[in-house]
């Protein structure tokens, strides 16, 4: 374990980072130990396949926790028997079944659909006490940033990195910059942490936190509950940050205490002593600081297709005429057109069709309580076609039912669903129809996110609930709550929550093992393991040396990974064949007869349909979701390099793992030199070794672009970084030995959860993860 550098003042992020360094590479990249790895069905199949192909195993099942969330229907599970009979959509079913196969094959702690503890990964981790202060937490999901609310360093990773963590329990990382957002003062009544984070993103923009870990600090943050803090860190990814963090405090410790996977007995005291050291020192250096007055924030909603399109509810739909920059103006025109909005319409005059209360941002018990208080005694407005409440986990659902919230919602005309991601991105059947407008408590309003041509407006649970009742966007501060004694009761009782958690552990341990997907027998698994272990180890990646091609020009900013590869293509369990889905919504449309036909999108036009390079003038290419399907789709289409002023952090990382070279070039150089060449259909040449970009006549356009040494080395030589890390296994062993002593309270992890495997040799009732 590298000794923490204590000689100079450090930030919270610096401290957690330092405590996880396994090894610093000669090129300056860090091998970081990962304490907690959450896994779901969408981003893991290809990672497990990679392990199997290389004969590798999961290094720390006890640091791993698996659940299903994205693909599962949210219908009642009263008649649930198995995935095979419950999930109708074949590709969703295959993804969940594949996860169950992998859980069996690698003996991993798992909350399946029959387990009351199943839910959205980012709700389940904290709820179980798996997420702890000062830990490194990762998941193949961009909203892993949620867990930073506990003072954890938590970030989303791509599938190649999921595989890396499964195999090595480490990740190769570079150090991010430190950014602090200070929110002083008090939030006004009716203003929630969701308004706060939407306001922040409105101020700093979706690229505002690029390259940084943001620490949220100040009185307004300290005053928030832990669940409210989670909503803030959750959306730090929408601000472009690698992660969001909040200093852990007494409220944090109180929240964690007694949760099933939290440290117990003497380990608890040891943990708290360490957690109390996790704060930014007084004179610690922040590369960037933004100060916001809490009093300036009023209930906020979004109007466009980027979370930065946030406005106070008292505002009006923007007018393109007010924007001088042509890229921004065109973006506003396109967003208004997509969203079906007229400039200068007061936001409060906009009617909606559907309301969604759920997602990893706002589906916890406090969110549901707050929304229930709004709807109590009312009925949803006549124009509302559907209003859904989707609790974040089975246990949140039980808790809400114990408090009577479900009755309040159903009496008002809401549907009360089972836990999952649901209409946040509609990988399950919960979607909007084309042109439907939704008031949503989720975190992304990208085009097509909630269904093809869907229109999403982000807001807090109380604002969404009030919209459902009034029928159009409403300022919650003007809303008349019905608090009278004649109203249905909400029985808030926090004691019940810990009882429910305890009870769930007890019940689930006693239950007969749920029937997991059974297509592979245990004997077959054993045979497979032997074969795989005898197989060759070490995968490799396509080399990148010199690339010459025409380049396809694009001008948009904030091209998100939902646009690069929409959700319907995420249901594959393979890495290949995704080229067909690349920029699907922009590349294809339906003609009058309903036939799908190509549009005049740049990649459909010769010679760009054969371009190997993309040149993008707008900032923040690849922002949003962690889906590695985005670089897979680009690669499958034939693209090998993207040149842009800036990139989404996770997309940038994921590209390198797939032999794709993202190059950051100043916007002015792109606009003045590279873009004109692309438009003129001239070839350009990228030389990775020289770090140069040249024009078709050999003229040097970019003399020296930046790329980190380690990444360059891997790309030039086509090296698989899992193989490289495994050569350093003695350092990982040494770190783990020291961790056992210094951070003994992290041992155990998810190890006490019974792995639901029927008929294994170990026990007829399953095995606990630590036995393996």
Ligand X SMILES: CC(C)[C@H](C(=O)O)[C@@H](O)C(=O)O
Of 49, 58, 301, 52, residue with least CA distance to 159 = 49
Which residue in the set 143, 147, 242, 397 belongs to the binding site for ligand SF4 (CB under 6 A)? 143
Cβ proximity of 680 and 692 under 8 Å: no
To ligand X, the closest distance from the beta carbon of 761 in angstroms equals 35
Residue with tokens 């919650």: 476
Of 36, 127, 35, 111, residue with least CA distance to 72 = 111
Which residue in the set 425, 438, 688, 714 belongs to the binding site for ligand SF4 (CB under 6 A)? 425
To ligand X, the closest distance from the beta carbon of 568 in angstroms equals 12
Which residue in the set 68, 197, 284, 424 belongs to the binding site for ligand SF4 (CB under 6 A)? 424
Binders in 122-141 for ligand SF4, by CB under 6 A = 141
To ligand SF4, the closest distance from the beta carbon of 445 in angstroms equals 12
Which does residue 120 touch among ligand SF4, ligand X, none (CB within 5 to 8 A, set by kind)? ligand SF4
Binders in 364-423 for ligand SF4, by CB under 6 A = 421
Relative orientation angle of helices 394-403 and 494-510, to the nearest 10 degrees: 130
Cβ distance to ligand X smaller for residue 155 or 705: 155
Q: Give, as one character, the DSSP assignment of residue 447.
A: T
Of 89, 101, 28, 154, residue with least CA distance to 529 = 101
To ligand X, the closest distance from the beta carbon of 362 in angstroms equals 14
Give the binding range for ligand X (CB under 6 A) out of 16-24, 141-149, 287-295, 491-499. 141-149
Q: What's the distance, CA 106 to chain centroid? A: 24
Give the binding range for ligand X (CB under 6 A) out of 96-104, 137-145, 574-582, 598-606. 137-145
CA–CA distance from 692 to each of 500, 664, 685, 703, 722 (Å)? 60, 12, 8, 5, 28
Q: Is 142 in the site for ligand X (CB under 6 A)?
A: yes
Task: Give me the 606-645 binding string for ligand X, x by CB under 6 A, dash otherwise.
Answer: -------------------xxx------------------
Task: Give me the 5-44 binding string for ligand X, x by CB under 6 A, dash otherwise.
Answer: -------------------------------------xx-
Cβ distance to ligand SF4 smaller for residue 149 or 360: 360
Binders in 408-427 for ligand X, by CB under 6 A = 425
To ligand X, the closest distance from the beta carbon of 665 in angstroms equals 26
Q: Is 194 in the site for ligand SF4 (CB under 6 A)?
A: no
Q: Cα torsion at 383, 384, 385, 388 (round to 10°)? A: 180
CA–CA distance from 578 to each of 98, 99, 639 (Å)? 19, 20, 12
Phi, psi of 506 (to 5 degrees): -60, -50
Which does residue 359 touch among ligand SF4, ligand X, none (CB within 5 to 8 A, set by kind)? ligand SF4
Binders in 64-103 for ligand SF4, by CB under 6 A = 69-70
Burial degree of 491 (CB within 10 A; 0-12, 13-18, 19+): exposed
To ligand SF4, the closest distance from the beta carbon of 758 in angstroms equals 29
Cβ distance to ligand X smaller for residue 14 or 141: 141
Cβ distance to ligand X smaller for residue 121 or 753: 121
Cβ distance to ligand SF4 smaller for residue 357 or 602: 357
To ligand SF4, the closest distance from the beta carbon of 650 in angstroms equals 13
Cβ proximity of 194 and 160 under 8 Å: no
Residue with tokens 């305890």: 502
- How far apart are alpha carbons 702 and 660 in whole angstroms? 19
- How far apart are alpha carbons 375 and 468 in whole angstroms? 8
To ligand SF4, the closest distance from the beta carbon of 569 in angstroms equals 15
Q: Cα torsion at 680, 682, 686, 687 (round to 10°)? A: -140
Q: Is 449 in the site for ligand SF4 (CB under 6 A)?
A: no
Q: Is 558 in the site for ligand SF4 (CB under 6 A)?
A: no
How far apart are the two ends of the chain, measured CA to CA in Å? Answer: 25
DSSP code string of 558-604: --BHHHHS-GGGGG-SSSSS-GGGTTHHHHEEE-TTS-EEE---GGG
Q: Is 430 in the site for ligand X (CB under 6 A)?
A: no
**Which positions touch ligand X (CB under 6 A)?**
42-43, 70, 141-143, 156, 425, 570, 625-627
**Which positions touch ligand SF4 (CB under 6 A)?**
69-70, 120, 141, 143, 359-360, 421, 424-425, 442-443
């Amino acid at each position: 374990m590298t000794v923490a550098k204590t000689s100079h003042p450090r930030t919270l992020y610096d401290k957690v980072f330092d405590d996880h360094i396994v090894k610093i590479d000669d090129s300056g990249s860090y091998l970081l130990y990962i304490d907690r790895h959450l896994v779901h069905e969408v981003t893991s199949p290809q990672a497990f396949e990679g392990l199997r192909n290389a004969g590798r195993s999961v290094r720390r099942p006890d640091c791993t926790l698996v659940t299903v969330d994205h693909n599962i229907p949210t219908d009642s599970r009263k008649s649930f028997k198995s995935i095979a009979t419950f999930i109708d959509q074949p590709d969703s079913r295959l993804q969940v079944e594949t996860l169950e196969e992998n859980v069996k094959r690698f003996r991993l702690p798992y909350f399946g659909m029959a387990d009351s503890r199943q839910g959205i990964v980012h709700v389940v981790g904290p709820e179980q006490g798996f997420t702890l202060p000062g830990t490194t937490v990762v998941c193949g999901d961009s909203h892993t940033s949620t867990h930073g609310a506990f003072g954890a360093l938590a970030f989303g990773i791509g599938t190649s990195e999921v595989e890396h963590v499964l195999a090595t329990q480490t990740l190769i990382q570079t150090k991010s910059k430190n950014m602090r957002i200070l929110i002083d003062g008090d939030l006004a009544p009716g203003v929630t942490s969701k308004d706060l984070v939407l306001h922040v993103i409105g101020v700093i923009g979706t690229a505002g936190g690029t390259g940084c870990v943001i620490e949220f600090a100040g009185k307004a943050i300290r005053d928030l509950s832990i669940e409210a803090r989670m909503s803030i860190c959750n959306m730090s990814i929408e601000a472009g940050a690698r992660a969001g963090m909040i200093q852990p405090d007494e409220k944090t410790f109180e929240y964690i205490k007694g949760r099933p996977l939290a440290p117990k007995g003497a380990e608890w005291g040891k943990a708290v002593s360490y957690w109390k050291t996790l704060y930014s020192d007084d004179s610690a250096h922040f590369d960037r600081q933004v100060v916001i007055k809490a009093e300036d924030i009023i209930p906020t909603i979004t109007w466009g297709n980027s979370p930065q399109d946030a406005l106070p509810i008292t505002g009006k739909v923007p007018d393109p005429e007010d924007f001088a920059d042509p890229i921004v103006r065109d973006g506003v025109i396109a967003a208004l057109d997509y969203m079906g909005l007229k400039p200068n319409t007061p936001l409060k005059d906009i009617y909606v069709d559907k309301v969604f209360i759920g997602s990893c941002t706002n589906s916890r018990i406090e969110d549901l309580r707050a929304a229930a208080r709004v709807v109590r005694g009312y009925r949803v407005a006549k124009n509302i076609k559907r209003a859904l409440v989707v609790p974040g986990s089975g246990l949140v659902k039980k808790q809400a039912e114990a408090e009577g919230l479900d009755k309040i919602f159903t009496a008002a005309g809401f549907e009360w669903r089972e836990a999952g991601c649901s209409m946040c991105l509609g990988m399950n059947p919960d979607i909007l129809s084309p042109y439907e407008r939704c008031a949503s408590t989720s975190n992304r309003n990208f085009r097509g996110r909630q269904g093809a041509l869907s229109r999403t407006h982000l807001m807090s649970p109380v604002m969404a609930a009030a919209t459902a009742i009034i029928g159009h966007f409403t300022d919650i501060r003007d809303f008349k709550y019905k608090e009278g004694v004649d109203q249905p009761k909400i029985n808030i009782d926090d004691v019940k929550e810990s009882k429910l958690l305890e009870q769930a552990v007890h019940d689930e341990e006693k239950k007969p093992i749920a029937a997991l997907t059974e297509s592979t027998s245990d004997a077959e698994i054993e045979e497979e393991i032997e074969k795989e272990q005898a197989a060759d180890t070490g995968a490799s990646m396509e080399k990148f040396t010199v690339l010459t091609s025409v380049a396809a020009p694009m001008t948009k900013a904030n091209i998100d990974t939902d646009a690069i590869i929409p959700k319907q293509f995420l249901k594959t369990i393979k890495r290949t064949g995704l080229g067909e889905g690349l920029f699907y919504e922009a590349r294809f449309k339906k003609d009058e007869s309903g036939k799908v036909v190509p549009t005049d999108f740049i990649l459909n036009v010769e010679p760009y349909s054969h371009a190997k390079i993309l040149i993008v003038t707008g900032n923040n290419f690849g922002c949003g979701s962690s889906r590695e399907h985005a670089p897979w789709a680009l690669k499958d289409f034939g693209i090998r390099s993207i040149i842009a002023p800036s990139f989404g952090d996770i997309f940038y990382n994921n590209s390198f793992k797939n032999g794709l070279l993202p190059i950051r070039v100043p916007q002015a150089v792109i606009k003045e030199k590279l873009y004109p060449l692309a438009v003129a259909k001239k070839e350009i040449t990228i030389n990775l070794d020289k770090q140069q970009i040249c024009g078709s006549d050999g003229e040097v356009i970019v003399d020296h672009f930046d790329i980190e040494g380690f990444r360059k080395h891997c790309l030039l030589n086509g090296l698989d970084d899992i193989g490289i890390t495994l050569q350093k296994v003695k350092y990982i062993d040494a770190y783990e030995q020291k961790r056992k002593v210094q951070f003994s309270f992290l041992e155990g992890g998810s190890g006490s959860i019974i792995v639901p495997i029927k008929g294994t040799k170990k026990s007829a009732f399953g095995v606990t993860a630590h036995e393996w």
